[in-house]
Amino acid sequence: MAKRKYEKHFLSNPLIKGDDVKYRIVCQGSKTGFDGLMKNYWLRWNCITKPRSMGDPHTHDFDEIFHFFGADASDISDFQAVVEFSMGEEGEIYTFDKPTIVYVPAGLKHAPINIKVVKKPIIFMNVANAPSFVMNVDGKPFIPKDIKP
Ligand SMILES: [Zn+2]
């Protein structure tokens, strides 16, 4: 049976079971779904239920945008967590306890991201305009295991 015209525009059930989170979504335009339609898009979506630290200090050749908000769909402003976000060569720490979006331009060193307190689950989502998520750590390309689709 022939596929419908726009069938490849839909990615059904993208949830991945995790050992550190119950489910995550990793959508890498060049490799996961969409049949190569959207090459410069990468997304990771996690429901964070307990404190954790993510990422060694790194850079990459693409912009990255981080989103933090409450996981209760009836009130995403209900953010009961504390996040420390390291920015720049200096490792300057920014601490927030409200829904926050962080823009990291290409080439700016960032991380680790320490989610210090989680009283209620939060959503942590990062998006990049890149075909795949390759970080530069100490001058070497690196892909962490939890961001592979
Ligand atoms: Zn990054």
Read off the CATH number of the domain in which 104 is found.
Answer: 2.60.120.10
Q: How far apart are CA 66 and CA 7, in angstroms?
A: 29
- Name the residue among 122, 144, 125 with its Cα closest to residue 56: 144
- pLDDT at residue 32 in the model: 60
Q: Distance from the CA of 92 to the center of ligand 1, in angstroms?
A: 15
Cα 133 to ligand 1 centre (Å): 8
Least-confidence region, from 10-14, 79-83, 102-106: 10-14
Give the Å distance between the CA of 63 and the centre of ligand 1.
8
**What token pair was written down for 70?**
């409450």
Q: Domain count for the chain, please give it.
A: 1
- Domain range for residue 25? 15-133
| Model pTM score | 0.82
> How far is residue 97's CA from residue 68's CA, in Å, rounded to a whole number?
10
Q: Ligand 1 centroid vs 71 CA: distance in angstroms? A: 22
Both tokens of 51, joined, read 């404190």
Output the CA 60–ligand 1 centroid distance in Å: 6
Q: What is the pLDDT of residues 43-100, one digit of tens each?
A: 888 889 999 998 889 999 999 999 999 999 899 999 999 999 999 999 999 999 999 9
Angle at 64 between CA 62 and CA 70, to 5 degrees: 170
